[in-house]
Each structure stands twice: as C-alpha cells, then as structure tokens.
Amino acid sequence: MGMFSESVDVACGSDGKPISVQWAGRSYSVCAEPTRWYERRNWWAEESRAPLGSGPGLVDHEIWRVQVLPFTAGVPGDHEETLTLDLTRHLSSGRWRLLRIHDALRPRTA
C-alpha cells in the first residue's frame, strides 16, 4: 500500500459520491459503490486556535475509498485491473487529495 498526499480532481454525482477521478494525467471511472468515513486529525498540532465559527473539517477528515478503472478513449478499460484509492476532501475548499493506493502497481506483462 502506498501512502502519500497528491492533488486529484474528482467529479461527484448529485448524491455527493465520487463518480470519476483525474490523476497523473489519466481519467478513471468509479466502478463500485464508494465508502465514506471520517478520521480524527491532530488539529491541535496544526492550529494554535480554532477560528470562531469553524466546525466542519476542523476535527475530522472526510475519507472516501473508491475502486476505479482507467478510461480508454472515453470507455472504462475492460482489460485493466481495478485500483482501490483512498481520497480525502477538504470541506471548506472542496479540494480533493489522494491519500493511499491499496493495490500494488505491478508492471504489465503480455
């Protein structure tokens, strides 16, 4: 499992769930029901004081686990393996970051 933080573009459906991801110059389609949870962050180590009126996103991170397939010419790839990614959304800015890749990135063989 690789863990890092990299900016990604995520499109969401009307229900707020991720439906596609743009990362590293490639487009991916979410191919399974995404899962959402929240993780506590060390806000006291990052913020000296909580700004008045702040709330959402101060204490917890919103995390989404998605399974994606790469798009090939606008069609999800049939011969590619799914990737399982953990994404986080910064609630006040709406920005998304890639946190983890759960599937090993293996070299392709013929």
Q: How far apart are CA 26 and CA 38, in angstroms?
A: 27
Say which range, 47-51, 74-78, 101-105, has the weakest mean pLDDT: 74-78
Domain count of the fold of the chain = 1
In a domain? residue 24: yes
Q: Which domain holds residue 23?
A: 2-101
- Would 108 be classed as within a structural domain? no
> Is residue 107, in this structure, part of any structural domain at all?
no
pLDDT over 90 at 17, yes or no = yes
Which DSSP helix (H) or strand (E) runs through 44? helix 43-46
103 neighbors 76 (Cβ within 8 angstroms): no
Question: The pTM is what?
Answer: 0.75
* Terminal CA-CA length for the chain: 24
| DSSP code, position 53 | T
Residue type, 67: Q
